[in-house]
Amino acid sequence: SRAASRARCSASTRSSPSPSPATTSPAPCSRGSSPPSIRAISLADNELSGYIPPAVASCSSLLSLNLSSNRLAGPIPDGIWSLPSLRSLDLSGNSLSGSVPGGFPRSSSLRALDLSRNLFAGGIPADVGEAALLKSLDLGRNFFTGGLPDSLRRLTALRFLGAGSNALAGEVPAWIGEMWSLERLDLSGNRFAGVIPDDIAKCKNLLEADLSRNALTGELPWWVFGLPLQRVSVAGNKLEGWVKVPGDAALALHVLDLSSNAFSGGIPPQITAFAGLQFLNLSSNSISGQLPAGIGGMRLLEVLDVSANTLTGSVPPEIGGAVALRVLRMGDNSLTGRIPAQIGSCSSLVALDLSHNDITGPIPSTLGNLTSLQAVDLSQNKLNGTLPVELSNLPSLHIFDVSHNLLSGNLPNSRFFDNIPDYFLSDNSGLCSSRKNNSCGAVMPKPIVLNPNSSSNPLSQSTPSSPSSKHHKKIILSVSTLIAIAGGAAIAIGVITVTVLNRRVRSAASHPKPAIALSDDYLSQSPENDASSGKLVMFGKGSPEFSTGGHALLNKDCELGRGGFGAVYKTVLRDGQPVAIKKLTVSSLVKSKDDFERQVKVLSKMRHHNIVTLRGFYWTSSLQLLIYDYLPGGNLHKHLHECTEENTLSWMERFDIIIGVARGLMHLHQHGVVHYNLKSSNVLLDSNGEPRVGDYGLASLLPMLDRYVLSSKIQSALGYMAPEFACKTVKITEKCDVYGFGVLALEILTGRRPVEYLEDDVVVLCDLVRSALEEGRLEDCMDPRLCGEFAMEEAIPIIKLGLVCTSQVPSNRPDMGEVLSILEVVRSPQDSPGDEMV
């Protein structure tokens, strides 16, 4: 199962037995005592765990049961399909596993069944079609294999069939056309092959059809334009031939995604007659000819993507008529001519990509009218002239890439252009860059990289790689570079301070200290009764005693790991719950007792599905312990860098982890907590493989220190540290976490460490990936253990997002709310056709 795959790298000492059904969940309807008035139960969107109790099958009067979005595990109880009155069952968004039992009776009252987003495997029950009254059936995002069972053809009342993101195979059955009432069909992300059957045209009420990311062949079926369809996606297949739009086509389409196929010929001009079209994606095909001028008449069009084709001609001036356009992508074609000034009329434009063409002339000053613009890529063209001063009017700009052109002159005067990264401007010999001309203002230094093999742990800066080079680049730290950096006054002060602190720690270690073993009695003493005793505080429920006895609390055999702030040990509470105890090794730097306690209580309120819960703390003047939930799945670092190829994380698992970490960080930031120390070893996996962010906010427990001292305490976060750690005048904010998240996302996708030390070189992951992006070889960066199970159209936006997050200027990085929105668009682009940024 997916959860088992994620946990294979965990040490055996970290595993915990599965909870038994009898001890984890109460029986809601025990036989003979079921209240006849209970007709609906909804416990959705909580943190329920354990199994679904078998006794639920005795709730004979139950009409509706909703247990969605919890942490339930195990199988579906036998007999649940036989509940005579059950009409709606929603178990989605849990970790239920095993095969879905059969036994659907013909007398079933079920109208809606949602089993999506679980860990179910095996085949879809062969008799599911016996529940003839079903109107909605969602089996998506599981691990179902085999084909669609023939019994489904009897569901003539079914309006929604969802089976996307599974491992179903075979041909798309023609009998789908017998499901007369079907309105929404989702078979995306499977292994279906063969041609798309014409019989689907018999579904006269079909509004949405998603057959994307399969291995379908043949031509685009005629019914795509012959039914009153509103949303159609066949992206990521092997379809070919011309895209033919009949003259009598139904004009109801809102979303049309034909990307990543082998379609050829020109864009049919009839497509501009779809006045209601909001999303049109024809990218990554072999489409030729010119973009129809009538595209400007599509007043509702929000996303137009024709990139990675063989289009010729110029960008039509009529494009200015598409006033609702938010995303325009025409990169990687053979376009010529100039960028029309009329593009400045697209007042809603957020993202513009005209890169990798042969466009000439200047950049029109009308781009300065597009105040919503966030991302612009005009690289790899033949643009000349200067950058218009009107570009300084763009307040939301995050990306402005004009590299590899013929531009010259000064940059516009704005905060963004004063700090623009070099790689956005490279290979424009006459263009003034702040990195090349002292008159252009200062920029942020490169990320801090600490060499663990050096006895002095010098702070060093990596030099930017040349974007125009076509060879594999490595960041080499020479002796002269280290000397120059070490000679800086600020660096020297930091090193001296670190040295003094280290001597203090060694001096303290040389004196006899009381044993760290603690007795249960000592832990449970009250500070009011004994001023010299420690104070143990547990938040919420939980016994303040430890079943192993104090002698085992900090036992070396129970150590789980060590970090910049201390070592972590595993122990067990009296109630049988395992916990992780972090012993802070910065006692001499900790705030006063009152300040420490106040800050710990703030951190204890950070309760979220993707954050490790702080259960309590223990305080004495010489010993501070933090008590956390224990996560049996181990840390992400082990899964990325210490697992075998057979046990590596899958693409879906990695994507889920990236989104989960983003959600956890956004929650911290919403409550004013900066993590400071985000890295893969501080991302833990629970028993279901869900990510949880740990070690958050620990720097807030320390007094205000010199920036370099703080850096030394978290020097294990190699490559994750934002460049502002090296600048005393720049405030440390949530944008430091955004930088670390960007590095972490790249680490998850590539499987490479943020910093890799070779014999004479240091390779920085961000620079390596950035160079690969500029050279068009991102595929080479992806973790080879994924073995092609991912789609590059999903990976590329995440990589670009990671690079934007690692911008050297904090204000150029998005906040975590924006990051999460982008990730959710990448995960489900059909749900938010106009919200893409990168």
Give 398's pLDDT tier (boundaries 50, 70, 90).
confident
Q: Is residue 456 part of a domain?
A: no
pLDDT in tens, 633-678: 888 998 998 877 767 888 888 999 999 999 999 999 988 888 888 9
Q: Is residue 64 part of a domain?
A: yes
pLDDT in tens, 455-474: 333 333 333 333 333 333 33
Q: Is residue 15 part of a domain?
A: yes
pLDDT in tens, 98-116: 999 999 999 999 999 999 9
- Indicate if the pLDDT at residue 15 is higher than 80: no
pLDDT in tens, 612-645: 988 888 877 777 888 888 888 888 998 998 877 7
Q: Is residue 430 part of a domain?
A: no
The predicted model scores a pTM of: 0.56
Binding residues for ATP are 583
pLDDT in tens, 149-195: 999 999 999 999 999 988 899 999 999 999 999 999 999 989 999 99
- Indicate if the pLDDT at residue 243 is higher than 50: yes
Q: What total of structural domains would you count in the chain?
A: 1
Q: Is residue 168 part of a domain?
A: yes
- Indicate if the pLDDT at residue 357 is higher than 50: yes
Alpha carbons 250 and 270: distance in angstroms, whole number: 11
Pair of tokens at residue 460 = 């060093």
How much of the chain exceeds pLDDT 90, in percent? Answer: 41
On the CB side of 261, how many CA atoms lie within 13 Å of its CA? 29
Find the distance separating the first CA and the last CA of the chain, reported in whole Å.
Answer: 33
Q: Is residue 445 part of a domain?
A: no
Quick count: other Cβ atoms within 10 Å of Cβ 632?
17
For residue 727, the model assigns a pLDDT of 63
CATH of the domain at 2: 3.80.10.10
- Indicate if the pLDDT at residue 119 is higher than 50: yes
3-state helix, strand, coil in the chain (%, to 5): 30, 20, 50
Q: Is residue 210 part of a domain?
A: no
Can you count the helices (H) and strands (E) in the chain?
Answer: 14, 44
Structural domain harbouring 107: 1-173+180-186
For residue 823, the model assigns a pLDDT of 87
Average pLDDT of span 431-449: 48
pLDDT in tens, 797-831: 899 899 999 988 888 889 998 898 888 878 765 44
- Indicate if the pLDDT at residue 23 is higher than 80: no
Q: Concatenated DSSP letters for 370-415?
A: -TT--EEE--SSEEEE---GGGGG-TT--EEE--SSEEEEPPPSSH
Lowest mean pLDDT among 219-223, 346-350, 549-553: 549-553
For residue 555, the model assigns a pLDDT of 57
Give 567's pLDDT tier (boundaries 50, 70, 90).
confident
How much of the chain exceeds pLDDT 70, in percent? Answer: 74
**DSSP label at 207?**
-
Alpha carbons 98 and 121: distance in angstroms, whole number: 6
pLDDT in tens, 71-96: 899 999 999 999 999 999 999 998 89
Give 589's pLDDT tier (boundaries 50, 70, 90).
low
Asked if residue 318 lies in contact with residue 295, where contact means CB atoms within 8 angstroms, the answer is yes
Q: Is residue 357 part of a domain?
A: no
Chain mean pLDDT for the chain: 78
Binding residues are 583
User: Which has more confidence, 32 or 182?
Assistant: 182
**DSSP label at 817?**
H
